[in-house]
Structure 1
């Protein structure tokens, strides 16, 4: 989603010397990166900026984030959904990203330019992809773990009220063996 033809025309260029500050972008620590990624709106905005090439209107970012946040398409967004996200990005999130040197944000023109710092966030956002086929089968073993946990609770309860005449050591061995079996099955399947 880049600048489209249905919007006011005029080229969007990189910021000139007058648009940017004299401050050198500071090196971001891992804590800084995690702090910036702390909110879902910033994560979504950064993910969008990583997916485009060049400058973009702030409105495009807001629409993308609002659509993702409301689990809908940009065309189906309501005015209030757009506005709620737009205001938060305009007042808080984009100025923060600009201050940290992750983007160049011309607030008065509503234009955002990604900087080289933006690429630092790519590895942290790649985890939000679909699970690999090998990981998809893990859900089956979660059911087995739940079943073993429930069976263990029943055995422990029966033993505690005297309905099961078995020693504590034997009961512990049985429960441990059940969990070990499920763990081995999940690792080698």
Structure 2
């Protein structure tokens, strides 16, 4: 049943998802796959198509290479367990009668936990690692008197490094705080827990 069919549930839902609810929802890989598919599709997704795509990922095959059992196993668990749980939490709108699923507004509360870099850029740890490697190269070039570093005072090179780290840290802090759920710190929950 779609979330819009439960106006009393919408009124009784807390303003934000609790951390326990978030972790419970994201503890299952199939539910994370559901959210991934829905994030990639701005429109309504058919349950049959969703089940096929997830079954293909889980079995590391193309949709065309899936057998009946692989499709049915995923379809059944989505229909009976995972989609109702996501719908009840207000994360998706699941219409059982039509077999359609769309992201609900609350799904955005999970974005910080599902940071899928994909087309959006470089993961923060990789950015800091690259920045550290660059800073080390600057320091080595300064120590070896490599041009143009040989013409700069050591303090200027150190200042540039500190400013670069400060700018990246401020941007990172701003983005994390803007997307933070319940005031907690963001952690990686993209493991394979079921």
Q: Quick check: 1:50–1:118 contact (8 Å CA) kept in 2?
A: no
Q: Quick check: 1:58–1:111 contact (8 Å CA) kept in 2?
A: yes
Which residue number in structure 2 is paired with residue 50 of structure 1?
39
- What's the offset of the Cα at 1:54? 2.0
Which residue number in structure 2 is paired with residue 117 of structure 1?
106
Higher helix share: 2
Which residue number in structure 1 is paired with residue 57 of structure 2?
68
Which residue number in structure 2 is paired with residue 20 of structure 1?
5
Larger C-alpha radius of gyration, 1 or 2? Answer: 1
- Kindly report the root-mean-square deviation, in angstroms, between the aligned alpha carbons of the 2 structures: 2.6
Separation in 1, partners of 2:50, 2:112: 20
Which residue number in structure 2 is paired with residue 171 of structure 1?
none
Separation in 1, partners of 2:100, 2:57: 21
- What's the offset of the Cα at 1:134? 8.4
Which residue number in structure 2 is paired with residue 180 of structure 1?
none
Structure 1 counterpart of 2:18, from 23, 29, 52? 29
Structure 1 counterpart of 2:75, from 73, 77, 86? 86
1:61-103 Cα offsets, whole Å, 9 max, x none, are: 1111111111111121111101000000000000000011111
Q: Does 1:103 align with 2:117?
A: no
Report the TM-score when normalising by structure 2.
Answer: 0.55
Report the TM-score when normalising by structure 1.
Answer: 0.56
Q: Quick check: 1:50–1:119 contact (8 Å CA) kept in 2?
A: no
Separation in 2, partners of 1:35, 1:108: 26
1:120-163 Cα offsets, whole Å, 9 max, x none, are: 2222222686985987xxxxxxxxxxxxxxxxxxxxxxxxxxxx
Any residues of structure 2 matched to 1:114-153 within 5 Å, and which? 114-126=103-115, 132=126
Runs of 5+ in structure 1 lacking a partner? 1-14, 136-189
Misfit runs of 4+, over 3 Å? 127-135
Separation in 1, partners of 2:60, 2:117: 15
Runs of 5+ in structure 2 lacking a partner? 130-194
SS at match of 1:109: coil
Separation in 2, partners of 1:59, 1:67: 12
Which residue number in structure 1 is paired with residue 27 of structure 2?
38
